Structure 1
């Protein structure tokens, strides 16, 4: 039986069997009778509660030498829900219609989803002063979560943990990665750390905003006037970042997005081949307190998954809420938390290149992957910040030829990879911001290579 079919069966058996909606109940660990799923809350700080959901793959194999890996999926935003979006719209076992996903990552790994930072999705705070204001604070909360989950669970300890991040989640991944290394070394955390993979990740805002104008002119979405306006605002952002004026840089970033939309006739920031009108999420939403604009990508992913017609909001606040049985009555799931984004406005534009350098120097496996058609975290910008790394292996990495990548059922080129020592870069063709959705075949192939999954060919899907 397929991975998703088994999990669908466990969902149906469990549905309506759990009913409780108090904060006390929310602190319990709950799961399916067969152990294929477990979930719960961890109070990562007093009055700050983080929700997690772990799936164990029915394809797990133990060949004695290569342990079965676990992936902690880190969603972006900041303030986007991994439990809802990453799970039901990208890589989890079921889509928003609760139909099996043929490309689920459970074919290769166990999956741990979190609603991070606190205040996102089902996670909540009892006091609004407890929202995190920096990536380091988010990493501290996630480390507290991992300590609670791993230190008394020998089964989890045997499975190497990989952080796989999307969009702003990449900033969480690199700061969390350093926090994990420190906690493991001190004996505070008991786990095997496999490495990190940052997909279309907002590691260096400066490099991305400088990529927008030239890229869009190259593909004829901006003319020379539009490119000049874009570059002018990018220069302003660069100066504000250099001066440590990060909130001002966030506001200027909003102005730059407006200028891009105006001069390109509303290009889509997640796939520059599209118009915003072709992508229902592309319209920006003004925040109540300032001019920061955010992109709520749950609806975009729904539009990409043609087989899925269900609303993720309805699902998460309906059937899934009932299944989980521990969500407090006053907590409503939301795909994107405005409050979380606002709290992180001062850190949003802060680069995390140094953290990548530190991870590489510590010998941590670092993978970068980038969708060819993304604009918001364009490959051109990713390549620019990678070239700023101080890592000693960079010159040799840059000299290497790329290796073309294919999928088993299609002989056409699907991407490229370049690897040197503990650094790996994947170029994913035909994909925009959401690589697992746009090129699921190559995403699965890449996942197996990153995690060294012992999954057999028969349990894999292209």
Structure 2
């Protein structure tokens, strides 16, 4: 158990402070954790959970970093999924995770947008309807946490996102930079990492058919059918018909499922539902038909509850530890989060990445080799659309192979960098890269945050 024996004890014993029925801010007794709610708008409450690393390196020339993890969905819980399923100190059995990113940085998990996970709104009119609104809410949260805490201000903040969280990361970073420049936010933004991120929906849906045809998962008939729907989506996006494009996206997933016999969208080497680690969007072709991502979230909660997994602990021991209001159910408003954002779901944010690069912000993109939903083929396509002045030099740069430890006999991935842009190809990983390749991902995060921690 090592350093995390204390965390497990605090998980069961520590109680937060209260203001009314809502935990405003709390600390574990040994000071290793803090959590609470921020009212980002009247009656809109966002939950956060900060872990302080026991591996912190003091008296270094490099400051100890903080990572803000943003989950996808929209409507998936970072406090739950990213924390217990991927990179936090404990897994869903509440056992220590050896590959926790706390080895490289402090970790801040946020249930974003409001309505996700433990976050909630008191009025359904308060759900966000655009990525920009979500970014503004997150900026408000950061102002509340950092402006009042000089210790937090000493650590650069690195935003790391997964899936749809990548769109939130871009809009948050732009809003945060604006707030920093205006003197409204006291923090140093270290960089943004986009992991298997839904940056350009058009490029991803166009990649699905050709990729699956190349790996023998669909045939020419399937390719023709999928390309037909993908081209319809492309046209809808170009004409600004984003809600219609979201509906067509659901239609395309049904076509892909039918011709591939239910391929797992998060690992194209497997069937949907065959891997308990991969959080799959489809459990059966019947569940796919006519569904949206809200259906995925509902099935996810049901499947985890059935196995006594994440849903059980988030609405059980974790909810009790954090003193979440009794009338708040973890994930209870997640379906509405997606529905309200359906008009932004298919909008690209490539121009936002360009803006960050032009401002000199460090941007890292990483992608799992066997992901389908945000396939590397699609990621490379949108990267090549960047208007960033360094793009051509980046494209002409050779890749560097990645290994873990002293083992040079097994290539784990590749890296390519030019100035403030970095791209990682992670081999053998699906959509949830830290789960599939924890070692090389931990090294990548150490390089991204310039962590003073010893390399693994």
TM-score over 0.5 for the alignment?
yes
Partner of residue 390 from structure 2, selected from 388, 393, 407? 393
Write out per-residue CA displacement over residues 280-302 of structure 1, whole angstroms, 9 at most, x where no aligned residue. Answer: 634259999x74245349959x9
Residues 304-383 of structure 1 correspond to what in structure 2 (within 5 A)? 310-325=308-323, 327-334=324-331, 337-383=334-380
Across the aligned residues of Structure 1 and Structure 2, the Cα RMSD in angstroms comes to 2.2
| CA distance 1:265–1:181, shift in 2 (3 Å) | same
Which residue in 1 is equivalent to 2:292? 292
CA separation in 1, counterparts of 2:168 and 2:266? 20
Counterpart in 1 of 2:143?
Answer: 147
Does residue 449 of structure 1 match 2:450? no
Equivalent residue, structure 2, for 1:283: 282
TM-score normalised by the chain length of structure 1: 0.92
CA distance in 1, matches of 2:87, 2:351: 29
Is the contact between residue 368 and residue 425 of structure 2 (CA under 8 Å) also seen in structure 1?
yes
Unpaired segments of 5 or more residues in structure 1?
304-308
Runs (4+) off by over 6 Å: 285-288
413, 428, 431: which one aligns with 2:429: 431
Question: What secondary structure, in the 3-state scheme, does the structure 2 residue paired with 1:196 have?
Answer: strand
Which of 75, 79, 87 is the aligned partner of 1:79? 75
CA distance in 1, matches of 2:170, 2:80: 22
The aligned counterpart of 1:416 is: 414
Q: Which runs of 5+ in 2 are unaligned?
A: none
Matched, 1:126 2:122: yes
Task: Decide which of 47, 51, 57 is 2:47's aligned counterpart.
Answer: 51
Q: What TM-score do you get using the length of structure 2 for normalisation? A: 0.94
Cα 1:299–1:340 change in 2 (3 A) is closer
Deviations 1:336-388 (A, max 9, x none): 81110001000000000000000000000000000000000000000000000
Shift of 1:130: 0.4
Kept in 1, the 8 Å contact 2:115–2:127? The answer is yes
* Cα-to-partner distance string for 1:217-237 (whole Å, 9 max, x where unaligned): 000011111001111101100
Describe the shift of the 1:157–1:118 C-alpha distance in structure 2 as closer, same or farther (beyond 3 A). same
Secondary structure at the counterpart of residue 15 of structure 1: helix
CA contact (8 A) 1:199 1:368 kept: yes
2:105 counterpart residue number: 109
1:25 to partner: Cα distance = 4.1
Count of paired positions: 447
- 1:149-228 matches, cutoff 5 A: 149-228=145-224
1:312 positional shift: 0.4
Residue 148 of structure 1, CA deviation: 0.2
Structure 1 position 11, deviation (Å) = 3.5
What SS does the corresponding residue of 1:119 show, helix, strand or coil? coil
Alignment partner, residue 306 of structure 1: none
Q: Is the 8 A contact 1:287 1:338 kept in 2?
A: no
Query: Would you say the 8 A contact 1:85–1:298 is kept in 2?
Result: no
